[in-house]
Amino acid sequence: MLFVSYIGSGEFSVTLKDVTESESYTVTGSVSGALLSSAECILERPMVNGHLSTLASFGTAYYGYDYTNIPDTCYATVGGVTGPFGSFSSVKGIVMVNYNGAALASPSPLTPDGSSFYVTQG
């Protein structure tokens, strides 16, 4: 899991946590002008050497406590208010498509408590 936390004065901490091995790694850095007005939960296909990488074969990826039993996932603090993603007024699911417009990955709706969702490949 990846956690990003705002420390203050433009400083953020980023923690990568292996919940199965109880190990983690944290770094801090600064971002000047950060608006602190949004949060994301991402499954991505990164650029490698200027080209989109091949999307890993993942089947279904699960996010949030309702599917993973890992607490405090799919929560955010925006404008000083902390809550599950679904508690905020503007929540958008985005379908990843290829160059021809075919779906590569599609998110489900949020669960009723607004804290969890899954992404299906294809």
Contact in structure between 18 and 10 (CB atoms under 8 Å): no
Quote the radius of gyration of the chain (alpha carbons, Å).
16
Domains in the chain: boundaries: 1-34, 43-121
**Is pLDDT of 96 > 90?**
yes
Indicate the helix (H) or strand (E) that contains 41: none
Tell me which DSSP letter residue 113 carries: T
Contact in structure between 86 and 41 (CB atoms under 8 Å): no
> 45-49, 79-83, 89-93: which has the minimum mean pLDDT?
79-83
Alpha helices in the chain (DSSP H): 65-68
Mean pLDDT (whole number) for 89-118:
94
Report pLDDT digits (tens) over 52-89: 888 999 999 999 999 999 888 888 888 888 899 999 88
Which pLDDT belongs to residue 33? 87
Which pLDDT belongs to residue 100? 93
